[in-house]
Amino acid sequence: MTAAANAIRAGFDGVELHGANGYILEQSLNPHINNRTDIYGGNIENRCRLLLDIIREISKVIGAEKVGVRVSPYSTLGDIPAYNAEETDQTYAYLASELNHLGIAYIHISDSPAIPEKTHQQIRSNFTNTLIYCNGLTPETAAAKISDGSADLVAFGRSFLANPDFVKRIEKNAPFNDVDYMSLYTPGEQGYTNYAILP
């Protein structure tokens, strides 16, 4: 809560809670990892409780309209084990519905071919505020998601790391630099400030 309040005081528009990519909040959702027997473990409602409780508390401090959450349904990053597809769908449908009741600004979804269309549709129908999609999008696939209404906004991460002039390249229909995966999140300029830019 203090970090969220400090972010707003420092001039940030809001904060995003990271409930994706195998981090602790996604682990709480996963029945293979969350083996608690108290109110934070067991059924879907209990496994979602930690994430929802944190959002409630942050919202009290900075307002729900300044809170977003990132999720990655069906992700196995960080060796997080996949779980039953029907239960996964029900988990994210329930979570989207509860986040809608809390009135947060957006859900940021790390897209993946592993996510069934049914899950996308349930999230879309249960959450009426902004949906942001990211992960492996190209300008063309991003435009298609916006145009068909499955996303309200799109985000680019690795593409920006490898292309500091990413927007200019889209405007000029220029080729993109390949991401150097060996230098991601390593110290020094390699992989951060040494990518070529357009003349």
Closest CA to 10 of 22, 2, 20: 2
Across the beta sheet with 67-71, the strand order is 15-19, 67-71, 106-110, 130-134, 153-154
Burial class (CB in 10 A: 0-12, 13-18, 19+), 84: exposed
Tell me, yes or no, if 23 is annotated catalytic.
yes
User: Around 173, how many Cα atoms within 13 Å sit in the side-chain half-sphere?
Assistant: 1
Active-site residue among 23, 40, 83, 192?
A: 23
Q: Which residues are tagged catalytic?
A: 23
